Chains A and B, each alone.
Chain A
Amino acid sequence: MTDNEMLIRQAIAAEANEAVDPRAVMAELQKGKPRKKKWPLALVAAGVVAAAVAAVAVTVPHATPVTQPAAAQPATEQNILLVGVDDNQIADSVVLANVKPNGDTALVSLPRDIRIDGDTKLKQLLASGGMEKLTAAVTTLTGLHVDHYAVVTMKGMQALGNAVGGVEVCLKAAVMDSFSGADFPAGRQMLSGDQALAFVRQRHGLPNGDLDRVVRQQAFLKGIAKKALTKPARLPEVIDLVQKNVRVDAGWDMLEFAKRFTASPAVRAATIPVGATHEGPTGSGLDVDPQAVREFARTFTSSAAPTGSGTPAPGDGCIN
Chain B
Amino acid sequence: MQDDYDRFVADRLDRLLRYATAMTCDRHLAQDIVQNVLLRAQPRWGRIAAMDAPYLYVKRMVTNEYLSWWGRRAARDISLSHSTLATLAPAVTDHAAQHAERDAMRGRIAVLPRKQRAALVLRYYEDSTDAEIAKVLGCSEGTVRSHISRALTTLRANELAPVEVL
Chain A positions within 8 Å of B, measured between CB atoms, are 4-5, 7-20, 22, 24-26, 28-29, 32-35, 37-45, 87, 176, 178-179, 183, 204, 279, 281, 283-284
Contacts and interface: CB of A to CB of B under 8 A. Distances in A.
Contacts of A179: 60, 64, 68, 138
B106 A17 contact: no
A204 B136 CA distance: 12
A38 B18 contact: no
Interface in B56-94: 57, 60-61, 64-65, 68-72, 74
Given A11-B105, A12-B121, A179-B138, A20 B155 contact: no
A119 to B, nearest CB: 12
B156 interface: yes
Contacts of B19: 16
B133 interface: no
B150 interface: no
A42 B69 contact: yes
B143 interface: yes
Given A11-B109, A176-B44, A34 B57 contact: no
Interface in B7-60: 9-10, 13-14, 17-22, 25, 27-28, 30-32, 34-36, 38-40, 44, 47, 57, 60
B25 A15 contact: yes
What DSSP secondary structure best describes chain B's contact surface?
helix
Interface residues on B, range: 35 or more
**A-B interface, 10 closest residue pairs, ranked by CB to CB distance from nearest:** A42-B68, A11-B105, A16-B18, A16-B22, A19-B21, A178-B61, A19-B17, A39-B70, A11-B106, A22-B14
Contacts of B124: 5, 8-9, 12
Contacts of A37: 36
Given A42-B64, A179-B138, 19 more contacts: A5-B152, A8-B155, A11-B102, A12-B120, A14-B102, A15-B110, A16-B18, A19-B20, A20-B28, A22-B13, A26-B10, A29-B38, A33-B39, A35-B36, A41-B68, A43-B70, A178-B60, A178-B61, A279-B142
Contacts of B105: 7-8, 10-11
8 contacts: A7-B105, A11-B109, A12-B121, A19-B14, A41-B70, A42-B70, A179-B60, A283-B142
A38 B24 CA distance: 15
Given A20-B30, A176-B47, A14 B106 contact: yes
Interface of B: 9-10, 13-14, 17-22, 25, 27-28, 30-32, 34-36, 38-40, 44, 47, 57, 60-61, 64-65, 68-72, 74, 101-103, 105-106, 109-110, 120-121, 124-125, 138-140, 142-143, 146, 152, 155-156, 159
A4 B156 contact: yes
B35 A87 contact: no
A15 B22 contact: yes
Question: Which among A22, A32, A279, A283 has the highest number of chain B CB atoms within 10 Å?
Answer: A22
Contacts of A183: 44
Contacts of B47: 176
A33 B38 CA distance: 11
Question: Which among B13, B105, B120 has the highest number of chain A CB atoms within 10 Å?
Answer: B105
